Amino acid sequence: MAKRVMLIEDEPNIIEAISFILSREGLDVETHADGTTANDRLRARVPDLVILDVMLPGKSGYDILRELREDTVTAGVPVLMLTARGQSRDREMAERSGVSAYMTKPFSNAEMLGQVRDLLASAV
């Protein structure tokens, strides 16, 4: 059975690119663009990995991550945060919230895919 990845991102071009790359890798990709309902969606169908943007409509990726870590159902799911926010304080905030890996946009497809593979392998 294919591993499931939930991509929480609101930029259509990034959604399309990441979905294509991960699908080509044999992963089942589900997308969601609304920060307000992201955690409800995650609890309803817990994925093997979450790829999370920081700046989302309704709720920030940091808030989503904190809620995800506080919920026993989703606490152990690896999270790769992809964001245009590359300041050290942004990375530190993500680490305090429990992020598994942090990458800034723009990113190379190969680097992102490598990070996804590593996180999925370590989650087994």
Residue 60 has pLDDT above 90, yes or no: yes
Return the percentage of the chain with pLDDT > 90, whole number: 85
Report the 3 state secondary structure along the chain.
CCCEEEEECCCHHHHHHHHHHHHHCCCEEEEECCCCCHHHHHHHCCCCEEEECCCCCCCCHHHHHHHHHHCCCCCCCCEEEEECCCCHHHHHHHHHHCCCEEEECCCCHHHHHHHHHHHHHHCC
Average pLDDT of span 53-68 = 94
Q: What's residue 124's pLDDT? A: 62
Rounded mean pLDDT of the chain?
93
